[in-house]
Structure 1
Amino acid sequence: MFSSVLFAQKVNQELIFELKVDNDMTFFTDHYYSNGVELKVYAAFMKKSPLNFILLPHGKQSKNYYSLTLTHKIYTPIEIYVPQVKGIDHPYASYLLIGSQKESFNNRSRYKLTSALEIGVMGPASGGGYFQNTLHRNISIADHVEGWDTQVGNDFCFQYSAMIEKGIVNVSWFELNAYVGGKLGIPHTEAQVGGYFRVGKFDDYFRHIGIDSSTKWQLWFFVAGDLYFVNYNAAIQGGAYNQGVGRTIPFINSSIWHTRFGGTLVFKKLKLEIGQEVITPTFPTALWHRWAYASLMIGF
């Protein structure tokens, strides 16, 4: 049975690059989740990754996309131009992860499975302070950030994530999907449940990854909402192995609401998405936070 399923799978043969950049500077803030970069390289050779055995299995009718992922995220307190963190505030923290990801689209049964295994580092070794201050040196309105000496200490990261998305409503101009997922490990251990809807002109969400040369134009607007149940957040609480290094906060909020909305434009194998994300407080004395993002996907 296993061999027949493996033989029947459809593996994407295109080379696809996707780059997503998050930043809160759009709203004249520079704190909490301050900056993030995610790069994905979809390629057929990633099907041979030795990590794929631990990723979610797929059905016979699925179209599978395997990718190499790189993620870098930076977190800071509200006051970043003073040497020490004032009061109870978000610690300086950053992490760098590299991983193997699999996305399986099943158009017949209208579901999508996503799973990934990531490893990496957090703390000074991930380069968050260097990256932020290098960026600030090249922006005339931004000064040097003083407090990176107090950041969460170096630690090892190992994280497994999985998500299943299921189609609820699908008509020619409107689509509604629900999903449930979770992450286990460092830097995040959490579960999430949510929904996503969009209106516009688009291919079926479960047909492919979102770009296709057979469709010339796609345009849609979307809103998504998630409820997170958080057990552990290393960017706030520190790493699991190197405790006591840097300034951390022991307590986090166990439930968090997150939403994102925006618009997406697709021309054949080129996709541009621009949106905004909003999150409720992640620890007891925190504030709501928002940031903007842009995502570009190109297929060859």
Structure 2
Amino acid sequence: MRPLFLLFLTLSGFGSHAAPVPADTLHPIGPDRLLSYTYANDLFFRTDYYFTQGMTLTLVHPALARLPVRHLLLGGPRGSTQYYGIRLRYDGFTPLRIQDPFVRVGDRPYAAYGYASFFRISSQPARHQRLTTALELGFIGPAAGGKELQTAIHRVTGNAEPRGWDFQIRNAPIVGYRVAFDKQLAAAPGHIELLGTTEASLSTLYTYASTSLRLRAGQFNPYFNSLSSTGPSGWQVYGQASLEGRLIGYDATLQGGVFTNNDPYTLTAGTLRRTVLRSSGSVVLTHEQLSFEATATWTSPEFTGGRSHRWGLLGVTMGF
């Protein structure tokens, strides 16, 4: 993951000779400045297979509007407020039994990936809608460090050492483009919101189309008023639940790289479940510029003979 973090720091654009943020009267840039981190692991449900752990590090800052990649990201309708960000993501996957030093035929392959997502969010609070576009660049394979990371964590925690990472999906590039559209469907302002989302991804990692519903309930700022739940309005406490249906076109964590065929073991296209359901529930606590989130996620089987799976996520977001 080190190359991705170096890329994150380099492209943030905070050098002494950084160019000024480009002026755009048709698409004004929002002032939000956010830094967030999430850590997900299935250990929260006492399992250690399939999606086993993941991390994200996200920066949103007006200065990122100077990145040349902005020209590849859709700006949304005239007058929509623009937010620019970079997200680094790592995820790791294993079969059901990590103690086996051989390929478990019919089970999920070992896989790990890391990528940088350069995204642009076009928000229209008056219309209660938001468009997100993202360009994703990275790699899947041993270069992501999945073997080293899981082995080190298991040694520190005294858990069984994984023995099958030598059979993981080999190195391959990740190049992808993702588009998502959020729309408010119903609301009792400040207490209940029902949101709908449609999303599509065309990528060498994941190619899919999805639709989802999200219900928020509690005490919170309206979803479309700003980019995050942080803000100067004191305490916010709320829960949210979501249900997503996804139509799968390609999954490199199961099938290997699109342009490579040297993987020790992969699943065939015919074994993939083309429709996958995912649900999640979260509790969010926010005070001014600091927000904490705890989420539990469930997903239906992703391949023939596979199991449903659950994991937990903890996240923190800081406004500055």
TM-score tier by shorter-chain length is over 0.9
Structure 2: distance between partners of 1:228 and 1:171: 28
Structure 1: distance between partners of 2:178 and 2:231: 30
Structure 1: distance between partners of 2:53 and 2:61: 27
Structure 2: distance between partners of 1:298 and 1:84: 44
Kindly indicate whether the alpha-carbon contact (under 8 Å) linking 1:49 and 1:100 is maintained by their aligned counterparts in 2: no
The structure 1 residue matched to 2:75, chosen from 57, 61, 65, is 57
Q: Which residue of 1 aligns with 2:231?
A: 213
Kindly indicate whether the alpha-carbon contact (under 8 Å) linking 2:223 and 2:229 is maintained by their aligned counterparts in 1: no
Matched, 1:136 2:154: yes
Kindly indicate whether the alpha-carbon contact (under 8 Å) linking 1:79 and 1:85 is maintained by their aligned counterparts in 2: no
Q: Which residue of 2 aligns with 1:47?
A: 65
- The Cα of 1:158 is off from its aligned counterpart by 0.5
Q: How many residues align?
A: 295
Q: Which residue of 1 aligns with 2:289?
A: 269
Unaligned runs of 5+ in 2: 1-22
Q: Which amino acid is the alignment partner of residue 179 of structure 1?
A: T
CA offsets, 1:93-150, max 9 Å, x none? Answer: 011101211122211011011111011111111111111111111112x121100000
Deviates more, 1:47-56 or 1:86-95: 47-56
Kindly indicate whether the alpha-carbon contact (under 8 Å) linking 2:37 and 2:56 is maintained by their aligned counterparts in 1: yes
Q: CA RMSD in A?
A: 1.4
Structure 2: distance between partners of 1:170 and 1:38: 30
Kindly indicate whether the alpha-carbon contact (under 8 Å) linking 2:247 and 2:276 is maintained by their aligned counterparts in 1: yes
- The Cα of 1:212 is off from its aligned counterpart by 4.3
Q: Which residue of 2 aligns with 1:111?
A: 129
Structure 2: distance between partners of 1:230 and 1:242: 20
| SS of aligned partner of 2:65 | helix
Structure 1: distance between partners of 2:280 and 2:79: 30
Kindly indicate whether the alpha-carbon contact (under 8 Å) linking 2:241 and 2:282 is maintained by their aligned counterparts in 1: yes
Unaligned runs of 5+ in 1: none
Matched, 1:165 2:185: no
Identity of aligned residues (%): 25
Q: Which amino acid is the alignment partner of residue 245 of structure 1?
A: D
Structure 1: distance between partners of 2:93 and 2:150: 10
Structure 2: distance between partners of 1:150 and 1:59: 47
CA offsets, 1:42-83, max 9 Å, x none? Answer: 111211111111212223442222111101010000010110
Q: Which amino acid is the alignment partner of residue 282 of structure 1?
A: E
Q: Which residue of 1 aligns with 2:199?
A: 181
Kindly indicate whether the alpha-carbon contact (under 8 Å) linking 1:211 and 1:299 is maintained by their aligned counterparts in 2: no
1:13-92 superposed matches below 5 A: 13-92=31-110
| SS of aligned partner of 2:64 | helix
TM superposition score normalised by structure 1: 0.95
| SS of aligned partner of 1:209 | coil
Q: Which residue of 1 aligns with 2:119?
A: 101
